[in-house]
Amino acid sequence: MDLHDLLQENGSKLVLCVLDGLGGAATAEQPTELEAAESPNLDRLAVEGITGMVEPLGAGITVGSGPGHLALFGYDPQQFELGRGTLSAAGLGITLTPGDVAARGNLCTLDDDGLITDRRAGRPDAEEGERLTQKLREGVRLDGAEAEFHHVAEHRVLLVLRGEGLDPRLADTDPQETGVPPLEVRPLAEEAESTAELVTELVRQVREALAGERGNGLVLRGFDTSHELPDFTERYGVRAATVAAYPMYRGVASLVGMDVLGAPHSLDEQVTLLREHWDDYDYFFWHHKATDSAGHDGDREAKIAAVEAFDGVVPDLVELAPDVIVVSGDHASPAQFSGHSWHPVPTLLRGGSAGVDEVERFGERWCRGGALGLRPTTALMPLMLAAAGRLAKYGA
């Protein structure tokens, strides 16, 4: 059975709301952030629709944003792997061609012994970050490959290597701690040895170029090359657009061929953008970052507030009268763990033929008993299409 053979166009509108890192983990002491939030509008969607729990990559597996979003888009994250370099490049609108190697770089502060003393080089502002990046552009010259540097934000830069015979199979050089030197550039396959030598030389030149700066070192993560992902519109028969304030999420959306509508940070501006483009698309991916950021910061109250902030614009979304709304997350980010976790993510599907279940509140303990059950996240895309009446019957 090929989903593509079942597609039928009917003019319906679908919206996927991703509250990044939405899932939590209740403890004996406290409910999850979503359970604790006052979110009457999300609760109303739960009443009007069906609910459940989803797992992006199976039992016990904690995923990053890349695989989490691919799963939400209905792409098996085991089949389509994305490195941080690829995601960053896509987020900046930089096209990688086959053979290129991209990596996410973090400017850091090194002491006289070469040990990392600040993993974020004092979080340079946009101007300072761009100035340091410009120094890299001017100071690094490699034999056999061209090195491009792009400033992403704060201490984060994107490195793109273009040339012949490059291989992305290199280990991260970011030790992710202070008091130690950056890791050696280590090839993970024999074919990547010459690329490892090239990057070793690059890192050396970076230190020369940035000598005396607060950001005087560069650690690299997520070496990757270009990936061909099946086109979302071809795959699902919907014209798709993205509203996301953060580059990485615009990146993963553009990698599957979605249009990127803009990058406003305020939820109200995001709704305005949806409204302006409402007639131009069939499917909208709306990304809300604040839930995950608060989770990473270990700030339970901020995560609750981020849920409540999104709840506040749900009536504006409903007013646009989408046929089908899904609210879910790419993974869990319980504040008590200050990072991603493996816990299933509460999810609702409202509208079209979805029907209702008995769940009256949006939150883990209620959604567990909902009509969607516990499913792989990849099931949401066919469920959305089905609820919207966009899937024909299979077989006689």
Binding site for its own copies (CB under 8 A): 1, 6, 25-28, 48, 53, 57-68, 77-78, 81-84, 87, 104, 221-222, 334, 337, 339-344, 353-358, 364-365, 368-371, 373-375, 379-380, 382-387, 391-396
Q: Cβ 201 to its own copies, closest distance in Å?
A: 25
Give CA–CA dist 351/368, Å, rounded: 20
24: which residues sit within 8 A by CB, 6+ positions away?
A: 31, 32, 33, 34, 35, 303, 332, 333, 334, 335, 343, 364
Give the C-alpha separation, 295 to 48, whole Å. 28
Q: Using CA atoms, how far apart are residues 69 and 56, in angstroms rounded to an integer?
A: 8
Task: Give whichever of 11 and 212 is closer to its own copies, judged by the CB atom.
Answer: 11
Between 59 and 143, whose beta carbon lies closer to its own copies? 59
Q: Determine the Cα–Cα distance for residues 362 and 135; give it in Å rounded to an integer.
A: 50
Least distance from C-beta 70 to its own copies, angstroms? 9
Q: Which is nearer to its own copies, 278 or 337 (CB)?
A: 337
The smaller minimum CB distance to its own copies, of residues 263 and 374, is found at 374
8 Å CB contact between 50 and 352: no
- Cα separation of 136 and 73, whole Å? 36
Q: Which is nearer to its own copies, 143 or 177 (CB)?
A: 177
Of the candidates 266, 285, 344, 276, the residue with the CA atom closest to the CA atom of residue 57: 344
Asked if 326 contacts 384 with a C-beta cutoff of 8 angstroms, the reply is yes
CB of 77 to its own copies, least distance (A): 7
Q: How far is the CB of 386 from its own copies (least distance, A)?
A: 3
Least CB distance to its own copies at residue 281 (A): 21
Q: Which CB sits closer to its own copies, 20 or 364?
A: 364
Determine the Cα–Cα distance for residues 170 and 192; give it in Å rounded to an integer: 7
Contact 121, 135 (CB under 8 A): no
Q: Between 236 and 310, whose beta carbon lies closer to its own copies?
A: 236
Tell me the closest approach of the beta carbon of residue 233 to its own copies, in angstroms. Answer: 18
Instruction: Return the residue matching tokens 């604790």.
Output: 36
How many other β-carbons are positioned within 10 Å of the β-carbon of residue 165?
12
Backbone angles phi, psi at 392, to 5 degrees: -80, 170
